[in-house]
């Protein structure tokens, strides 16, 4: 049997317009969050161990996300009543109150967002969309059902995107703990021969095409 093609948004695309029923009421994305960074992340199913551990981990980082002005929205295709009961269970059994909304998407919405894989049944994949204040998708992460996400990386990615946008710089591997330049950021490449020749007079670097600075 031929599998259905999956169409998913790409980096740099506007986030698709969707209306979601959440545990905190209706949410229209990206319109209701215009002017704010937000993260929409999907999970395969409520009342599953890996997903439960992820929600607790995201909640623990809420203060850090709030400092960056970032809003979190969880999502799966479970019913809203399942979501409510699951969040009650997490609060009662684990002592953690989930303060961000959890959306109950239908198959059409999940397919629009590329969160349903035809070979994985009806469970939504572990997808993460980081969206900027203009409603543009800036980063997409996908994890298999068997592997929980590393939440500090999601937080790091948002920090890096915001700093990159504000300062027109790039971030090295493992920033802010890069093996070569520590917490420095990378200067964009020069656009002319004259600028290349002058580059090392103004910045630290290994060559004119690899210069860096502190912020």
**pTM listed for this prediction:** 0.91
Which pLDDT score, from 0 to 100, does residue 114 have?
73
Query: Which of 2-6, 35-39, 151-155, 168-172 comes out lowest in average pLDDT?
Result: 2-6
| pLDDT above 60 for 2 | no
Q: How many domains does the chain have?
A: 2
| pLDDT above 90 for 156 | yes
Which pLDDT score, from 0 to 100, does residue 196 have?
95
Of residues 51, 77, 155, 171, which has the active-site annotation? 51
Final residue in a domain of this structure, among 92, 116, 149: 149
Report strand pairing: 37-42 vs 70-76.
Answer: parallel
Which pLDDT score, from 0 to 100, does residue 95 have?
98
Q: 179: domain CATH number?
A: 3.30.1020.10
Q: Tell me: do 180 and 87 sit in the same domain.
A: no
Which residue, among 177, 161, 157, has the nearest Cα to 169 in the 3D structure?
161
Summarize pLDDT for 28-76 with one digit per residue, the tens.
999 999 999 999 999 989 999 999 999 999 999 999 999 999 999 999 9
Answer yes or no: is 36 within a domain. yes
Hey, which residues does 128 pair with through a beta bridge? 41, 141
Answer yes or no: is 163 within a domain. no
| pLDDT above 60 for 212 | yes
Q: Tell me: do 139 and 177 sit in the same domain.
A: no
Q: Sorting pLDDT into bands at 50, 70 and 90, what band is 123?
A: low
Answer yes or no: is 160 within a domain. no
- Across the chain, how many H-helices and E-strands are there? 6, 10
In terms of residue numbers, what domain contains 57? 18-149
Tokens for 107, please give them: 């198959």
51 carries an active-site annotation: yes
Given phi > 0 = left and psi -120 to 50 = alpha, else beta, which region is 114? Answer: left
Answer yes or no: is 74 within a domain. yes
Q: Tell me: do 38 and 139 sit in the same domain.
A: yes
Q: 113: domain CATH number?
A: 3.40.30.10
Which pLDDT score, from 0 to 100, does residue 166 have?
97
């Amino acid at each position: 049997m031929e599998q259905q093609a999956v169409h998913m948004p790409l980096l740099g695309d506007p986030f698709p317009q969707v209306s979601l029923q959440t545990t905190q009421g209706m949410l229209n994305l990206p319109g209701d969050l215009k002017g704010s960074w937000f993260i929409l992340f999907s999970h395969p199913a409520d009342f599953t161990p890996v997903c439960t551990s992820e929600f607790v981990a995201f909640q623990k980082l809420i203060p850090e996300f709030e400092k960056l002005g970032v809003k979190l929205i969880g999502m799966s295709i479970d019913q809203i009543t399942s979501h409510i009961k699951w969040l009650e269970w997490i609060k009662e059994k684990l002592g953690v109150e989930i303060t961000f909304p959890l959306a109950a998407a239908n198959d059409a919405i999940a397919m629009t967002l590329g969160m349903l894989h035809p070979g994985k049944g009806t469970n939504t994949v572990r997808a993460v969309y980081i969206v900027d204040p203009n409603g543009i998708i800036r980063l997409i992460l996908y994890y298999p059902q068997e592997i929980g996400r590393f939440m500090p990386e999601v937080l790091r990615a948002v920090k890096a995107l915001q700093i990159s946008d504000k300062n027109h710089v790039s971030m090295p591997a493992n920033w802010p703990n890069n093996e070569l330049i520590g917490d420095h950021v990378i200067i964009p490449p020069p656009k002319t021969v004259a600028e290349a020749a002058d580059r090392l007079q103004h910045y630290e670097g290994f060559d004119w095409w690899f210069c860096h600075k502190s912020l």
